[in-house]
Structure 1
Amino acid sequence: MQAHELLKQLRIPELSEVRDYFRSLSTNTLLGMGAFTAVTAYWFATRPKALKPPCDLRMQSVELPGGEFARRGAVLNGGPLLSHFYEDAKTIYEFFHRGLRESKNGPCLGSRKPKQPYEWLSYSEWTISELACYTYSLISVPLYDTLGTEAIGYILEKACISTVVCDVPEKAKLLLDCVSGRQHTVKTLILIENFAADLVSRAQQCGIDIISLKDAEVNKPQIPPQPDDLAIICFTSGTTGNPKGAMLTHRNIVSNSSAFIYVTKVNTDVHISYLPLAHMFERVVQGVILMHGARIGYFQGDIRILMDDLTTLKPTVFPVVPRLLNRMFDKIYGQANSPLKRHILEFAFRRKENEMKSGIMRRDSVWDKIIFKKVQASVGGHVRMMLTGAAPISAPVLTFLRAALGCQTYLDIHCSGCVFTVCVCSLPEMNYYAAKGEGEVCVRGPNVFKGYLKDPEKTKEALDEDGWVHTGDIGKWLPNGTLKIVDRKKHIFKLAQGEYIAPEKIENIYIRSEAVAQTFVHGDSLQACLVAIIVPDPDFLPGWAKKRGIEGSYEELCKNKEVKKAILEDIVKLGKESGLKSFEQVKDIALHTEMFSIQNGLLTPTLKAKRADLRNHFRKLIDELYSNIKM
């Protein structure tokens, strides 16, 4: 009986009962209900749509059959690796011609003078020089003056370069310094800006003709390249010795670009170009932009006024390096200079972070209008896509800036799993085993380079007989199908700005100081500089310090700030004399009194530094050093 009464109460009311109910309500109540209904309907109709992930985020790679413990990105849904995306764009030469068709020969490359708007052209000197190479199946070799005369001379000789394009006479003079008094293959030097007669005379003494870019223009039948022709020889910075020339074909670069296109959409975009064109990251981004007939705006050449270029150009695509993101993050938080402002900023960030976790990315929320509007305006207000690569980026920094700028961010876009297969190889000597899903990360696919120019020994070290590139990174497969880098096979790492560091080379220079017995140079991939732990020599330190007017026991001297300053100055001086680059020099040190030894677990039985243990042992001290450095 009770159940029957309950079912009677739960019945759907008759239409007449609903009508009588609404008639019993007051006019104000009905208006309120109508307004609430309208607002709710508007919210449902206009609320932002969540982005659809390219694959199941719970399993982002799939294991391939066979015994190699290899995996491939799940984004392909079982399809083949991408060697190209468009049938009419299989070489970089075809990239540009496809862009011409897509844009109907519209504005392509732009530049500006100080306090002036952008002027759009159909070419820019550097880019047209590169495209000219591809038009006639020539190979381009990027050079930049910061390599130093020795490295530039080595590259010129190794690659047998006959023609060099420079923007300003100063760089032409540097080039002449590199070849003066030695045999070389350089025949022609093309200068973009005006040059004096004495520079021409000096070049002629070296057997080189200098001509202007305009005089270099020709109208000859084109010789388009094939996909497997060499496109670029990109030399390393020579961290561990002479620079190595990585040979990249058109297929390699087009394949890498295909990964970008596969996970993003490029159409009527505007790209701000300020990163070095000598690095492949910027060149791949520009290739994708040109292929779609989009526009590239060049910065004025001064990174200090980049924000002015951004607000003038209003780009939609913004490639960034972690160092720039870190500066933006620090500046935003630095402006929140009171507890109340900091609380409001963090509250707004958490609200937007919750939206991002739901797949919603936008710039029109109430928090954007109140808090983040100025941040977005500082980069032009139209950025919809950030691309970051070349070095690791802190997760908290990246998440905050994604929320603040309200744009999608892609990290190392070529790592999307569309263009290569990844496996991990066992390293028993380091206790890593592929059967456990950990080992050296190896990569194979159409984007993999063809080896090092005229260096079979280094090529064999990097590429095995089956075409796998041995990266030197130690990786571990996680349950969601992603790969986590946990170690390095060799002790080489990147700083936040993307520069490679060989710490043992630096340590071998620093221990030449009379005051230094041992040193451990550390670089954090989320930081832009190096720090070091120094163990002063107990036999030499007292006498060395006394010459500088400082006396005391060994322990007292190690705590003395003047001693620390003097040791830092001494090792930096040794570094300069030995040719260390500025980013290879430590910015701060800490003095430690206990020697690294086998007994305390900081040296191997062969007396080599156990870098992972040293890093963990001095973690607190390292963090303190970084916290006191202002870049």
Structure 2
Amino acid sequence: MVSNDTMNLSRFVEEMDQYLDYIGGPAGALALTGVAAASAFYLASRPTPQRPLVALDRQSFPLPGPELVRVSKFYKESKEGKFVSFIDKDVRTLYDSFRQGAKESNNGPCLGWRDAPGRPYQWLRYDEALLRARNLGSGLTGLGMGPGALIGIYSQNCPEWVLTEQGAYCYSMVLVPLYDTLGPDACAYIIKQADIQVVIVEDDAKANLLLDRAPRSLRRLVSIKETRPATNQRARNRGVEVLRFEDVESAGAARNAPEVPPQASDLCTVCYTSGTTGNPKGVMLTHENVIASVCSVLLQLGDHKPTRSDVMISFLPLAHMLERCCENGMYMVGGSVGFFTGDIKRLPDDMKALRPTVMPAVPRLLNRMYDKVMSEVSGSFIKRVLYNMAYSAKESELKRGIIRNNSFWDKLIFRKVQEGVGGRLRLMLVGSAPLAGNVLTFARCALGCLVVEGYGQTECCAPISLTVQGDHVPEHVGPPVACCCIKLVDVPEMEYYAINNQGEVCVKGTNVFQGYYKADDKTKETIDSDGWHHTGDVGMWLPNGTLKIIDRKKHIFKLSQGEYIVPEKIENIYIRSQYVQQVFVVGESLKSCIVAVVVPDVEVVKGWAQENHIPGTLSVLCNNPEVKKLIMDDMLGWGKDASLKSFEQVKDIYLHPDPFSVQNGLLTPTLKSKRPQLKAYFKPQIEDMYAKLT
């Protein structure tokens, strides 16, 4: 990042400050003569622009017909309504793709890890990874697991995660990831619903979390790290056997069971979404689904796609399909994947040690990077001037299709930002939640690499659309990828109509899931009779053929860190407070928390105010800090009692004296909140709350 210890910049700033003191003049043209000369050199030495792979003013192809369907331009048969399923006819499954990568890499480095911070990365090569995966899968068959069996895995990203995945594929088993944010109850529900008998666990702590609510179906835990004797005994008391990962591998090597490779149509995973209401839903994805998704992204990246010489940093959860698809794309081309040490605070240190060239990311990471740089430059006039000049120059290059990290400005201003991600990054894929346009442009300028933003869902195996190299305009998610097509469907209750290029985003293609596990009713609610998956997101087509996400059909939204919020659920809990008559919970996909507008119960609040000798009308009381604290503390107490997660609790409230009503246009005739109208009505107050929270 730009900081006081940035050698070149600090020395320059110090000398410039001294010079300004000496001449006693303002920071004008004279003070920046040297920078101007450097700028002239920079402009004279700029490289040749890269040509976009498609015309940027026509990035998708509209199919004829009334449904206004749009398809990718990166697959010529898309015009005929066909979708990419694979690139190489011999690579149709994730079993095939890993072996293809081993061949492409010539047994190069595959899985990397560090035993501790400060240590160098160690590498497992492809052939050894294949052997160990096969041994583990063979060992699982010795535990009674066979084709179609669902194997659970509950672990942070590590080499053993991938060995488990590939070991399962050797014998046509199906992987079911578990993860911390699901919570123990949801994990127990998944194990029970999927009838999971074996779960690979990372360590003693995760083993105990599963044992707390272990369903009867769970028979064995296979621990990657050592477990305590007390944990092993606790497991036995519950009828669960704890085995060591390495012991299952050894037993599998001795057993040497013949492999049973999967077919493209076979399930490779049941990926449970964290859900927003009720229990999580298991998204059934086949090998074809994943291969199609990976291949479509590789096609769209063109010359920027990963190769055998690339190294990727793995820190986003492998339990989610964004990271899973990125890693499988790396293995397909014979690239290397290095895992972070497990502590997100040490991620910069891991990246400096690994020096990745490819990196999947989420908006929250880029937001922090942006905030840190802005904080640094805001404290110094000279830093701010230099930063603005550097940003303007790099943005100008972006607009001309130039992507590089070796300019004068990169070396002077953005060197620390680039070194913070290892210094070699050439490709970043951003997804999971919306990204503010100014942050995306900053990332493209500061990192000096290709940064593409995608939109997708677990149900579509991650990608639905992806921005195109050369398109510098932010705040859209690009055209459809080659494995699917997109249409917009009317949402009349929200006044979105396809004829106006607005509506619910619906997807059809080889990346669309097979349905929800043991939940046909939920599947029918999501996939219609013509095979269109209804995402619940509202989008609009921009004139250049790219998609922009503008709303959520069911008023469910993501926070910037990717967590889903169901405001109605939270409102139904807060309304239990005796002080609350009405409440409107609101959030923004570019923010990390939620806030609320609260109409207090006039009688209860006035009664409390009188008891505490606080005078005033309800309007006056709404502006009283003590009243606000009373109501907010009580709301948070109800939220805690209802087990709301921390990100589901409001971080600020605005007290409004006048009730929402049909007459003032904030309620429907059936007395339901008109959420878009409420958000628009209280826009100043909402913006003020967020401004105070930043």
Matched, 1:163 2:198: yes
Q: Any residues of structure 2 matched to 1:5-154 within 5 Å, and which?
A: 47-79=46-78, 80-112=82-114, 113-122=116-125, 123=129, 124-154=159-189
Q: Any residues of structure 2 matched to 1:229-248 within 5 Å, and which?
A: 229-248=266-285
Provide Cα deviations, 1:268-303, integer angstroms capped at 9, x if missing partner: 111111111111111011101111111111111111
| Pick aligned residue for 1:353 from 385, 391, 395 | 395
Q: Distance in 1 between matches of 2:405 and 2:437?
A: 21
Instruction: Identify the range of structure 1 (239-248 vs 564-573) with the bigger mean alpha-carbon deviation.
Output: 564-573
The letter for the 2-side match of 1:321 is V
TM-score of the superposition, structure 2-length normalised? 0.82
Provide Cα deviations, 1:235-281, integer angstroms capped at 9, x if missing partner: 11121111111100011111111122112221111111111111111
Cα 1:590–1:339 change in 2 (3 A) is farther
Aligned with 1:440: secondary structure?
A: strand
Cα 1:200–1:497 change in 2 (3 A) is same
Match of 1:592 in 2: 656
Cα 1:160–1:47 change in 2 (3 A) is same
The letter for the 1-side match of 2:208 is K
CA contact 1:550–1:563 (8 Å) conserved in 2: no
The letter for the 1-side match of 2:436 is S
Cα 1:545–1:296 change in 2 (3 A) is farther
Match of 1:314 in 2: 355
Q: Distance in 2 between matches of 1:539 and 1:259?
A: 61
Q: Any residues of structure 2 matched to 1:73-472 within 5 Å, and which?
A: 73-79=72-78, 80-112=82-114, 113-122=116-125, 123=129, 124-179=159-214, 184-217=216-249, 218=252, 219-264=256-301, 265-267=305-307, 268-336=309-377, 337-412=379-454, 414=463, 415-416=465-466, 417=480, 418-472=482-536
CA contact 1:515–1:544 (8 Å) conserved in 2: no
The letter for the 2-side match of 1:92 is L
CA contact 1:514–1:544 (8 Å) conserved in 2: no
Q: Cα offset for 1:105?
A: 1.4
Provide Cα deviations, 1:525-545, integer angstroms capped at 9, x if missing partner: 011111111111111112345
Match of 2:539 in 1: 475
CA contact 1:60–1:75 (8 Å) conserved in 2: no
TM-score of the superposition, structure 1-length normalised? 0.90
CA contact 2:181–2:274 (8 Å) conserved in 1: no
Q: Cα offset for 1:490?
A: 0.7
Length, aligned pairs only: 587
Provide Cα deviations, 1:120-174, integer angstroms capped at 9, x if missing partner: 1234111111111111111111101332222111111111111101111111111
Q: Distance in 2 between matches of 1:95 and 1:531?
A: 46
Q: Distance in 1 between matches of 2:679 and 2:332?
A: 45
Aligned with 1:141: secondary structure?
A: strand
Cα 1:548–1:126 change in 2 (3 A) is farther
Instruction: Identify the range of structure 1 (128-137 vs 48-57) with the bigger mean alpha-carbon deviation.
Output: 48-57
Q: Distance in 2 between matches of 1:88 and 1:335?
A: 52
Matched, 1:530 2:594: yes
Q: Cα offset for 1:78?
A: 4.6
The letter for the 1-side match of 2:365 is L
The letter for the 2-side match of 1:245 is G
Q: Distance in 1 between matches of 2:381 and 2:659?
A: 44
The letter for the 2-side match of 1:396 is N
CA contact 1:99–1:293 (8 Å) conserved in 2: yes
Aligned with 2:414: secondary structure?
A: helix
Provide Cα deviations, 1:183-220, integer angstroms capped at 9, x if missing partner: 52111110011112222222122221110001111132
Cα 1:441–1:43 change in 2 (3 A) is closer
Q: Distance in 2 between matches of 1:106 and 1:462?
A: 42
Q: Distance in 2 between matches of 1:515 and 1:504?
A: 18
CA contact 1:59–1:480 (8 Å) conserved in 2: yes
Provide Cα deviations, 1:604-626, integer angstroms capped at 9, x if missing partner: 11111111111111112111111
Q: Any residues of structure 2 matched to 1:529-568 within 5 Å, and which?
A: 529-545=593-609, 552-568=616-632
Aligned with 1:201: secondary structure?
A: helix
Q: Cα offset for 1:433?
A: 2.9
Cα 1:548–1:54 change in 2 (3 A) is farther
Q: Cα offset for 1:462?
A: 0.3
Q: Distance in 2 between matches of 1:564 and 1:527?
A: 22
Aligned with 1:140: secondary structure?
A: strand
Cα 1:89–1:552 change in 2 (3 A) is same
Q: Distance in 2 between matches of 1:141 and 1:550?
A: 57
Provide Cα deviations, 1:82-124, integer angstroms capped at 9, x if missing partner: 1112233211111211111111112111111111111112341
Aligned with 1:199: secondary structure?
A: helix
Cα 1:50–1:549 change in 2 (3 A) is farther
Runs of 5+ consecutive residues of structure 1 not aligned to the other structure: 1-39
Q: Distance in 2 between matches of 1:432 and 1:94?
A: 44
Q: Distance in 1 between matches of 2:42 and 2:658?
A: 69
CA contact 1:110–1:298 (8 Å) conserved in 2: yes
Aligned with 2:177: secondary structure?
A: coil
User: For the pair shown, which has the larger CA radius of gyration, 1 or 2?
Assistant: 1
Aligned with 1:623: secondary structure?
A: helix
Provide Cα deviations, 1:33-83, integer angstroms capped at 9, x if missing partner: xxxxxxx99999x74221221211111111112332211122334544211
Q: Distance in 1 between matches of 2:597 and 2:343?
A: 35
CA contact 1:425–1:433 (8 Å) conserved in 2: yes
Runs of 5+ consecutive residues of structure 2 not aligned to the other structure: 1-39, 130-158, 456-462, 467-479
The letter for the 2-side match of 1:286 is E
Match of 2:552 in 1: 488
Aligned with 2:413: secondary structure?
A: helix
CA contact 1:81–1:419 (8 Å) conserved in 2: yes
Q: Distance in 1 between matches of 2:222 and 2:611?
A: 54
Aligned with 2:550: secondary structure?
A: strand
Q: Cα offset for 1:547?
A: 6.1
Q: Cα offset for 1:348?
A: 1.2
Moved runs in structure 1, 4+ residues, more than 6 A?
A: 40-44
Q: Cα offset for 1:421?
A: 0.7
Aligned with 1:164: secondary structure?
A: strand
Instruction: Identify the range of structure 1 (261-270 vs 411-420) with the bigger mean alpha-carbon deviation.
Output: 411-420
Aligned with 1:422: secondary structure?
A: strand
Q: Cα offset for 1:598?
A: 1.3
Aligned with 1:173: secondary structure?
A: helix
The letter for the 2-side match of 1:69 is L
Q: Distance in 1 between matches of 2:385 and 2:571?
A: 44
Match of 1:4 in 2: none
